[in-house]
Amino acid sequence: MITATETKLPKIKTALPGPKAKEVIAYDAKYMSPSLTRDYPLVAERASGAIVEDADGNTFLDFAAGIAVCSTGHCHPKVVEAIQKQAAELIHIAGTDFYHRHMPEFAEKLVSTMPKSEKWKVFFGNSGTEAVEGAIKLARYHTKRDKLIAFYGCFHGRTLGSLSLTASKSTQRRNFGTLLGGVEHIPYPYAYRCALGHTKETCGGEIIELLEQQIFKRLFAPEEVAAIIVEPVQGEGGFIPAPLFFLQELQRICNKHGIMLILDEVQAGMGRTGKWWAYDHAGITPDIVLTAKGIASGMPVAAFIAKESVMNWKVGSHGTTYGGNPVCLAAATATFDLIEGGLMANAEKVGNYIFSKISDWPKRFKIVGDVRGKGLMIGVEIVRDQRTKERAPDLRDAVVDNAFHRGLLTLGSGENSIRISPPLIIDEEQADCAIRIMEESIREAEKAV
């Protein structure tokens, strides 16, 4: 088993939050922006592997991984060593203005994961939203078109360009005025709630028809569209995988009309679904792929990877001060090697194991409507009534909170789902522990129904 943990299972010793955690929370309230969305009062002090220790010495099993970021677990020794070594040699030089070997070295690794039928180029940034912004610019620059098509429920970031594509929660857009023009949103194929009763494999044909027969005929011609941007598995929106045929259809439409297909793999990518990229399951070749989060084990690295024929903008068209920072890329390189060296296979193996244990939850628990996902990206949808599928955000919050009090960290997703996105290092013993805690937490929440 691949793990950096010394302690593998959680232990809660104090009431939560404990006294020291309460102090930090009060301190935070004094100085920090109130816009941050804290689901429950975890005050992290240190972490190793899949275990997080709080300010009072309680330990938690981490099935959130800092929003699917700590793919190699917390403070993996190889990642720590790479960061420490690089920090002593070169911290910053500005890859926009000067050269350093870490940029092409890590870019070559990223390119090795892409379809071999094409040549690819890479641009590094610091966060998912920056990758999205860069991709919007590149798609517009390359196609000389400005219209963009995105999907309801998808999340692409919070800066003004990416926010224009994000259609997850209205609070994320509210009071920020007019966003980017030329953006149209269409429904995402959400099999559990498919109005036509289609399955996880077949849902979405009507959306393709909407795009071709309505949007392209009544709103703007396909020749005006720069890009279609989609999450192959919706992350923030509820851990909802798009059916594979749907992604294939998007590629067909994009190829037909010279539209850039941008796949936002910021949450789903880098091994989490058992393949490098979630789109690999569909066997398609996108024009631009976006990655961040799990790529560097918690150091800020993002990238957009585009076909060489697409990334043909002129010197000065796009740049960054910090993007491709040597220390961050050292962490990314170590992370990549670990994912390639076994964690991706582990994600598939332990993901399948978890599915085999929880796919019958809708039969066993009356408030579980759906269990879905791939690898270690698993969504559990909580409903008040399985027949009406009435969403139950309060019960979802109760399950997440109950789990926290039992020592398991998870996060909500979408209006009423729970995301299970542990580090890719977890083993079956840790999976069993998390499943037991989740089951107890669901049972407790069910008492309120």
Ligand X SMILES: Cc1ncc(COP(=O)(O)O)c(C=O)c1O
Residues that bind ligand X (CB under 6 A): 67, 127-129, 132, 155-157, 231, 235-236, 264, 266-267, 292
Beta carbon nearer to ligand X, 102 or 272: 272
CA distance 47 to 60: 9
Q: Using DSSP, state whether 45 is helix, strand or coil.
A: strand
What CA–CA distance (Å, rounded) separates 243 from 447?
34
**CB nearer to ligand X: pick between 56 and 264:** 264
Cα 324 to Cα 95, 139, 150, 240, 312, distances in angstroms: 6, 21, 28, 31, 19
Shortest distance, position 292 Cβ to ligand X, whole Å = 5
Residue with Cβ nearer ligand X (236 or 381): 236
Q: Which residue is nearest to ligand X (CB)?
A: 128
For 124, phi and psi rounded to 5 degrees? -95, 140
H helices within 371-415, ranges in order?
393-405
Least distance (Å) between residue 311 CB and ligand X: 19
CB of 413 to ligand X, least distance (A): 10
Task: Decide if 242 contacts 151 (C-beta within 8 A).
Answer: no
Place of tokens 């139950």: 392
**In the bound complex, what is the minimum distance in angstroms from residue 135's beta carbon to ligand X?**
10
Task: Specify the DSSP class assigned to residue 193.
Answer: G
If phi over 0 gives left and psi between -120 and 50 gives alpha, with beta otherwise, what is residue 68?
A: left
CA atoms within 13 A on the CB side of 219: 17
CB closer to ligand X, 166 vs 402: 166
Give least dist CB 327 to ligand X, A.
Answer: 18
Q: Toward ligand X, which CB reaches closer, 266 or 311?
A: 266
Smallest distance, ligand X to C-beta of residue 428, A: 27
Six token digits for residue 130: 């920056």
Q: What does the alpha-carbon distance between residue 378 and residue 101 come to, in Å, rounded to a whole number?
A: 37
**Cβ-based nearer residue to ligand X, 235 or 369:** 235
Q: Which residue has the tokens 């799990």?
A: 294
Judged by beta carbon, residue 128 or residue 274, the one nearer ligand X is 128
**Alpha-carbon gap, residue 311 to 123, rounded angstroms:** 9
Q: Smallest distance, Å, CB 293 to ligand X?
A: 6
**C-beta separation of 51 from 313 below 8 A:** no
- Tell me whether residue 230 or residue 445 sits nearer to ligand X (CB atom): 230
Q: How far is the CB of 446 from ligand X (least distance, A)?
A: 30
Nearer to ligand X by Cβ, of 132 and 354: the residue is 132
- At residue 102, φ and ψ (nearest 5 deg) are -65, -30
Min CB(302)–ligand X separation in Å = 7
Closest to 116 measured CA to CA, from 328, 276, 354, 344: 276
Beta bridge pairs of residue 227: 148, 260
- At closest approach, how far in Å is the CB of 162 from ligand X? 7
From residue 273, alpha-carbon distances to 231, 331, 350, 416, 422 in Å are: 13, 21, 11, 22, 12
Nearer Cβ to ligand X, position 327 or 442? Answer: 327
Separation of alpha carbons 371 and 196, rounded Å: 20
Cβ neighbours around 22 below 10 Å, total: 16
